[in-house]
Chains A and B, each alone.
Chain A
């Protein structure tokens, strides 16, 4: 790699965007197309859950036996092998 330290002095002076989002032209007429919506309209029913703290666990109880077994097998595998 060529060292580009010499160009840093110029870089500091130039108005470079810190994080360009899109540098390419986006195509003819694309400006007419609004950015697509990001998701459905969502609402939630009233919820009385307590604060989600470090000490209160919120996991579901009463798992079905197959899931319990799958979870336990994976837990043991991770404890031993890592992943």
Chain B
């Protein structure tokens, strides 16, 4: 049995995602499986002496795997290959998780190679790359993998030298005998280590953090950096197979619609078009199943697109044909002006509002937004003898594999999902509809198939971020103190994508910025009026935190204005003193991002900390030039704490520019600070797009926008001139928390608060677009 096997024959030259190299990738993994190695899958990660906290990792479907034989291979020449089991869409986890293994193991990063795991959660543990939880769930497990590998190498060396194990220790890519100075490289030890037992978890020693070479340092570049700069990095559309057909699909423009008929006479005349056929769709809601429509199959993508443009298609638009964003907005706004389902109720906010000296009311509307990641959805599939192989940029390769098996009605053993790099995800690529489309066609055509979505397809058939109306009423007493807070939130729910007829938000949506409000207010009431969905709703980077943080943090500034006080002071006063805030007992199903409250309580001390830090670094209170303003916002989400200060300059025509952004991040123990900076820089841009530009609207049931001209996103000449990020140093043993999403929610309210400070104009409806134009 060899799990530290010889990879020198199998490791692919160049990028791990180049043109498909079936043998190398499958060879590695088959070798590991065929070796008969036991996979010690833990359904619950036991608390250990060295891990002072428990995360929700063990509760996720398929839990956590820490068997080093699953993740680590060492070749005789010393090259260490580490498996990345989470998808790479720009957050850096494909580099970061193996980096943790390498550091703990004592491997030299220069001699580490990374291979991407296929979708196989029984083998690798949970692979859902979403929820900003890869690092926080896998810091300890990946350290255990590295510690196991290190221990086995040390044991092998000790046996070879016939000395006690206590006298040897791993250095950098080698094991050293303290007494004699003898040393053996990892490559030389691999075969001996391969036949040893995996150490029991309780016996593992973890490195002292002061000995980390990579973790926490920010000195390791992403593994695909060189390939990205030379065009060799492999994304979803870069997989090429001999005889492959290129397909685009015309899908029903209205969710719930279906094909009536089509005329393909002209389409078939287009040079390069080979076939036109109907493809199956499932009625909504059907999880991630394809919408169906008409597929145009051609020799290249350009011909397929041209062929589709030549189609004439007749649709039955179905029950959502009248979905109209203007009308629906009025309904949402009316809904939040009336009582709704009570989801949190502390004290008696109704009475306190009635008795208040002043009531400040804010109504905030945020439209649907689209993910619009640079890489539109795409998938490649190959059907051979009852087995399907799919290459796709998917965030959930394990879930994709399961859905392929169910859709094709074959065993999951006959399904291989190889995730490519993702050209952005933001949550869109957690839904594997595009992979299902490719697989179904590959089986039908008995030829390899690439299904390419165009940008128009991406905008027309997204699982959109929901549309919401948020109404907050804050009751102030005579001294201006907030004594009552009533927040009504109406938005069609993500639940509607999985349950027909869902009209209320599900616990996770309520838990993102509504019922978890951490303010020191005695009377808090949260209500959720009903809102039926008429399109596919999905999760978009930071999800319901977007409208909630916008409403709550804007309201804080509105209260400050109403009472003639500094917004930062009012914010700190509302947060109250540093303390742990328990979830209100009145909340039926509190949701803490899937994490145990013991490990990740709501800690207002940390919330205050990032407010103070961001304000200090931004120079809050400094004298500003004419037309400038500062705005501040803070939000806890994905168990991290982020505060953002935005400085705007608004000219006489109402054009807003952003000289500066300062963001303070408290994400606990951190692994890859360089990627935290990039995530926060990117979140500011994403937040700016949401605040300023992003809107998907419906008329006659269909999406009105088509491409980046009518769905604009921020470009470099609109970006803040400077974005500074400050990471709060974590006390030892502080659990790590999320980084991918939490930077997004505070940006829009900080921006609009800054605009108010500069102009006196309060933005309550996004996007800003021309609202400030003079």
**For the complex, is A78 an interface residue (Cβ under 8 Å from B)?**
yes
- Give the size of the chain B interface in residues (CB under 8 angstroms): 91
CB distance from A2 to the nearest CB of B (A): 9
A45→B316 contact, CB < 8 A: yes
Q: Which of B285, B316, B589, B657 contacts A71 (CB 8 A)?
A: B285
Q: Which of B308, B310, B490 contacts A54 (CB 8 A)?
A: B490
Given the complex of chains A and B, what is the CA–CA distance between A79 and B509 in angstroms?
9
Most B Cβ at <10 Å: residue of A40, A47, A66: A40
* B residues 706-737 touching A (CB-CB < 8 Å): 706-707, 709, 712, 715, 717-718, 721-722, 724
Closest to B512 in A: A82
* B residues 39-61 touching A (CB-CB < 8 Å): 56, 59-61
CB distance from A40 to the nearest CB of B (A): 4
B500→A80 contact, CB < 8 A: no
* B residues 512-564 touching A (CB-CB < 8 Å): 529-534, 539
B503→A82 contact, CB < 8 A: no
B594→A74 contact, CB < 8 A: no
Given the complex of chains A and B, what is the CA–CA distance between A77 and B319 in angstroms?
28
Q: Which of chain A's residues have a CB closer than 8 A to the CB of B649?
A: 8, 12
**For the complex, is B437 an interface residue (Cβ under 8 Å from A)?**
no
CB distance from A12 to the nearest CB of B (A): 5
Contact stretch, chosen from B1-9, B66-74, B162-170, B327-335:
B327-335
B328→A38 contact, CB < 8 A: no
**For the complex, is B507 an interface residue (Cβ under 8 Å from A)?**
yes
B331→A53 contact, CB < 8 A: yes
B314→A4 contact, CB < 8 A: no
* A residues 37-83 touching B (CB-CB < 8 Å): 37-45, 47, 49-61, 63, 66-67, 70-72, 74-75, 77-83
Q: B interface, by DSSP: helix, strand, loop or mixed? A: loop
Q: Which of B311, B328, B403, B701 contacts A70 (CB 8 A)?
A: B403
Q: Which of chain B's residues have a CB closer than 8 A to the CB of A79?
A: 506-508, 589
Q: Which of chain A's residues have a CB closer than 8 A to the CB of B500?
A: 57, 59-61, 63
A49→B319 contact, CB < 8 A: yes
- Also in contact, A8 and B659, with CB within 8 A (given A41-B311, A52-B322, A55-B532): yes
30 examples of A-B residue contacts, CB within 8 angstroms: A1-B724, A8-B721, A19-B712, A19-B718, A21-B709, A37-B309, A38-B706, A40-B250, A40-B311, A44-B253, A44-B254, A44-B314, A45-B260, A45-B315, A47-B318, A47-B321, A52-B701, A54-B331, A55-B532, A57-B503, A57-B532, A58-B256, A58-B532, A70-B403, A74-B287, A81-B59, A81-B594, A82-B131, A82-B508, A82-B594
Known: A74-B498, A79-B506, A82-B593. 14 other contacts (CB 8 A): A8-B657, A20-B715, A43-B312, A44-B317, A47-B321, A47-B322, A49-B321, A53-B532, A59-B284, A60-B284, A63-B283, A75-B498, A75-B499, A83-B430
Q: Footprint of B on A, CB under 8 Å?
A: 1, 3-5, 8, 11-12, 16-21, 36-45, 47, 49-61, 63, 66-67, 70-72, 74-75, 77-83
